[in-house]
Structure formats: C-alpha cells, structure tokens
Structure 1
Amino acid sequence: MKRAHDEKLRLCDALERIADALPGVDRLTCLRTANAVVPLLRSIHQYEETIIFPAYEEAVVGSNANLASTRRLRAEHVEDECFAGEVTEILLAIGHGKTVENPEAVGFMLRGLFENLRRHIAFEREHVLPMIGIVDAA
C-alpha cells in the first residue's frame, strides 16, 4: 500500500509541475504523464477495492467505524478515473503540440485531480490503514 501511495503521490507531483509550468510545459512530460495516469489509477484502485477495502470492512464490523467510508472511497475511484481520462486527453493534446489557450483552466483541472488524489490518500492513511494494521508513514 505504501508503494501504491508513493506512486500516486509521484503522479500528483508530476501533475503539479505541469500545472505550475503552464503554458510553457515540456511536451514529452505531458505525453509520459498522459500515458501513465489512467493505467496507474486503475491498477491501484483495483488493488484497494479487492484487498484493502474488504480487510477494512472486516476490521470495522462491530466497531464505531462507518462502512459508508468504503462506499464513498469506491465512488471517488470512479470519479477520479473519469477525471483522469479528461486530464489524459488534455495532456495528450498538449504533448502533440496543441497550444494551451487557457493555461488557468488547464491548471485548475490538473490541480483538481491531484488535490482529490492527495485527499484520498490522506484519508486512507489516517483512517483505513490503521484499522487493518498497516502503518504507512507519510
């Protein structure tokens, strides 16, 4: 899980660097990031939903924790993957030479995705992982 979080945080850092560099962003960086974002998220989300969330749900049965948390986290996965698809399209266009006509809007979009991902990770580190005995030091 620590590796999954580290990979997502590296993706967040890459998206943030792109957002900060707009409109003069490196095209190759955009292409690399575009090609990584959706497969990375899908892989990590599948792992969380098949391994981590069931362990968490089992651990919280009979405790004060709320099972609605995993339903919300699963819904966030769907939203993040949809959002990542949109970000991929933008990054591919930039990577293939399309002019960034509205850098503020593109930056806002990139920030929206990486901020959501960072919040998701923080929640998992603070609430989910401790319940299943995983210490994921930030």
Structure 2
Amino acid sequence: MEGARPEEAGRPARVMQRVHENKLALCAALESVADALPRGVCRAECLRIASLLVPLLRQAHAYEDDIIFPAFAVAAPDAYQTIHRLRVEHVEDESFADEVTEILLAVGHGEPIANAEAMGFMLRGLFETLRRHIAFEREHVLPAILG
C-alpha cells in the first residue's frame, strides 16, 4: 500500500491498523460536519474531506483485497463468504463516498445546503457504515491474520 512505513513492510496487520486509524479520523471529520449542520459548516473542511475520502477508501480497499484478504483466507479457510461480503461492502462504500464527495465539494465551493437534514443523514450513513466495517475487521480479520 502506498504510504506504508518501511518498518511496516511484511506486517499487514500493522498497516491495516494504521489504515483503520486514518479511516476513523475521516469518520470523525464527517461527523463534525454533520453535527455542524446547517449553519456551522466549515467549507474548507468540506473540501479537505472531499479530497481525501475516495482516494483513501480506494487505497485501503485495494490493500485489503490484495494483501489482507488472502492472508485471512489462509488463516480462516472457511471465511470465503465473509471475504466476499467485505468486498461487496467495499464497492458499496466507495459508491456512497463518491456521492458524499459530490455534496461536500458543492458545499465547499459555496453552494447553499439545500436540505441539511438529508445531508446529515447521508454523512451519518457513510461514517456509521465505515465504522461498522472497521469494527468487524478488528474483531474478526485482524485477530485471524495476527495468528
């Protein structure tokens, strides 16, 4: 994975933990925007999040698909359906993140927030989904690949 630290080479679980931390930081940022709706939204923060969200998810998902899931499959041979479900969630999360990015970019570039309740619901839907996915990986995938 791009950006992996040299000391993490060969340690997929450590890289995954760092990726989780980065994703959780973005979740916290999304939550802050949702909490600030409708009038307290920082447009610069919307642009910052929008610039990071999809690239971070794509990079993280590619790493999981290429490195983590094969290691998990070896450690837990009966986990085929679980891996399939996690991969499907990756696709769904990236699609959802694309939609959220569009809204964040619009707000960041000065467009008015047409429906603060809908925007908040959308932001919360994404960060709650990401947090659930991370929690599952921490409870099931990481322990298996750590051996």
**TM bin (shorter chain):** over 0.9
Q: Which residue of 2 aligns with 1:121?
A: 134
> Residue in 1 aligned with 2:31?
16
Q: Distance in 2 between matches of 1:88 and 1:101?
A: 16
The alignment's TM-score, normalised by the length of structure 1, stands at: 0.92
In the TM superposition, 1:82-121 aligns within 5 A as 82-121=95-134
> Any gaps of 5 or more consecutive residues in structure 2?
1-15
Aligned partners of 2:48 and 2:19: how far apart in 1?
Answer: 18
The two structures, once aligned, show a CA RMSD in angstroms of 0.9
Query: What displacement does 1:36 show?
Result: 0.6
Identity of aligned residues (%): 64
- Pick one of 82, 99, 106 that aligns with 1:69: 82
Normalising by structure 2, we get a TM-score of: 0.87
User: What is the letter of the counterpart of residue 31 of structure 1?
Assistant: L
Could you report, residue by residue, the CA deviation over 1:67-100 in whole angstroms, capped at 9, with x for unpaired residues?
2000000000000000000000000000011111
Deviations 1:47-72 (A, max 9, x none): 111000000011112xxx43200000
Deviation of 1:26 after TM superposition, in Å, equals 0.5
Instruction: Give the number of equivalent residue pairs.
Output: 131
Stretches of structure 1 that go unaligned for 5 or more consecutive residues are: none
The CA distance in 1 between the partners of 2:17 and 2:114, in whole Å, is: 38
Report runs of 4+ in structure 1 exceeding 6 Å deviation. Answer: none
Is 2:18 the counterpart of 1:3? Answer: yes
